[in-house]
Amino acid sequence: MSRPDRMPWGFVAALSVTQLVSYGTLFYAFALLIEPMERDLGWSKSALTAAYSLALVSSAFFAVPVGRLIDRGYGRAVMTGGSVLAAILLAFWSQVGDYALFLLIWIGLGASMSAVLYEPGFAVLALRLGFQARRGITVMTLIGGFASTVFIPLTHVLIEAYGWRGSLLLLAALNLVICAALHVVSIPKAAARPARRSEPEPSAARSDPRRVLSKPSFWCFVAMSVFQGFISTGLPIHLIPLLAERGFSLESAVIAYSVIGPAQVAARFATGFGERALSLRAIGVVTMAMSTLGFGLLPFIPAGSWLLIVFALLYGASNGMLTIVRALLPQELFGREDYGAIQGMIAMPVRLAQSAAPFAFGAIWAWWGSYQAVTILCFVMALGSFIAFVLNLVVAKDS
């Protein structure tokens, strides 16, 4: 970057496009591939979704080493390698007929996710952009937020035209031709440290990411992230049946669900480009308050009420703002050094919680006999995330 005050928009746009494709092919396409695979191979939905959960567990264990490699300047190799690995494994998946091999492929795809999704992308952006990272990350999440909008219909069209095996080969090609190529071209071979505003050189002690493990504020931030990650992964799968059980029509449930995505995008835009209005810490408090308010409201919304849209707006906006808070606030709380490794340390328990959430929500529904307990759990976790975040700010201020 020749001028520290000039945003390298080409670099930001390239990484944003790779997020769109990576999330679309590795995260969203799976939902459309379940039914044709079940029909063709005879594997149950639970067996297929178990492989996806295994990938989230795998990605959790690769998160910290990937972050450390990015901190050391290997972002280009990490993200390019992750995209190449994704392409190879998607191609193998297209030929799979053995369930044990299918599980191994998804363990590998978990490693690929840890190298190409938001956390590594945030780390590469933060290393290159420094204090300009807020706008870069906002653009990345805005473009990445359209992954489901683009790839759910695209994957459906591909399956209809080429079958699930042919579709996977085409999705593999996208990872190679778009993602790997853009990572090679756009990410510097050894990412240079951004220009800093009269910051002292970090001491050797500060360069160790394990220093945050002794900070209560770190564990409060992790608790908040785990609670929100559990909700954001478990609830979308169960939201429509939850609303149907409460007496809402399918049309009302679908309309409410469709509001969540635009609310996320609008909130990310407002968060990223409204930095002069609110600090990141204040935005975090608002984010947790909106989540708590939404889940506090949900049990009291009668069937057919327009208040369901209010819940969807609160939930979607909170999710959208949380992405940026989780990306940027760790720098403010724990320093810019070792940002990638610290993000990996936060991502590890979050991914483990996300891998368990869909099954946990289903088990709670089966045990309770209704979604009432799930609704209560979401409120308790949203309230817990609010308390943990406020405590995080208090102890961070005192430390």
pLDDT of residue 204: 40
**Residue 179 sits in the same domain as residue 214:** no
Per the structure, the complete domain to which residue 142 belongs is given by: 9-186
Burial string for 247-256 (b: 16+ CB within 10 Å, else e) reads ebeeebbeeb
One domain, residues 358 and 304: yes
Q: Lowest-pLDDT range, 88-97, 165-174, 195-204, 232-241? A: 195-204
Question: Are 40 and 172 contained in the same domain?
Answer: yes
The CATH code of the domain that includes 317 is 1.20.1250.20
Same domain for 393 and 262, yes or no, is yes
pTM above 0.75, yes or no: yes
With respect to residue 176, please indicate whether it lies within any of the assigned structural domains: yes
Q: Which tens digit of pLDDT belongs to each residue from 108-147?
A: 999 999 999 999 999 999 888 876 777 888 889 889 888 8
For 240-257, what is each residue's pLDDT tens digit?
Answer: 888 988 999 888 888 888
pLDDT of 238 over the 90 cut: no
DSSP of 75-97, one letter per residue?
HHHHHHHHHHHHHHHHHHHHT--
Residue 145 within any structural domain of the chain: yes
Q: Are residues 161 and 239 in the same domain?
A: no
* Residue 3 lies inside a defined structural domain of this protein: no
In a domain, 139, yes or no: yes
- pLDDT of amino acid 275: 62
Residues 139 and 263 in one domain: no
Q: What is the mean pLDDT of the chain?
A: 87
Judge if 231 and 380 occupy the same domain.
yes
Residues 303 and 217 in one domain: yes
Task: Give the per-residue pLDDT at 399.
Answer: 58
50-67 exposure pattern, b = at least 16 Cβ within 10 A, e = fewer: bbbbbbbbbbbbbbbbbb
Are 317 and 232 in the same domain? yes
Mean pLDDT score, 216-238: 91
Residue that has been written with the tokens 């994704």 in this structure: 86
pLDDT tens-digit map of 84-102? 999 999 999 999 999 999 9
The average pLDDT across 342-360 equals 89
One domain for residues 128 and 246: no
If asked whether residues 242 and 178 sit together in one domain, one would say no
323 within a domain of the structure (yes/no) = yes
Same domain flag for 100 and 230? no
Q: Is residue 197 part of a domain?
A: no
Position 196 pLDDT exceeds 50:
no
Number of domains in the chain: 2
Q: Would you say residue 356 lies in a domain?
A: yes
pLDDT in tens, 68-87: 999 999 999 999 999 999 99
Lowest-pLDDT range of 81-90, 263-272, 307-316 = 263-272
Instruction: Indicate the residue type of 64.
Output: V
Output b/e per residue, 91-125; b: 16+ Cβ within 10 A.
bbbbebeeeeebbbbbbbbbbbbbbbbbbbbbbbb
Residue 203 belongs to some domain of the structure: no
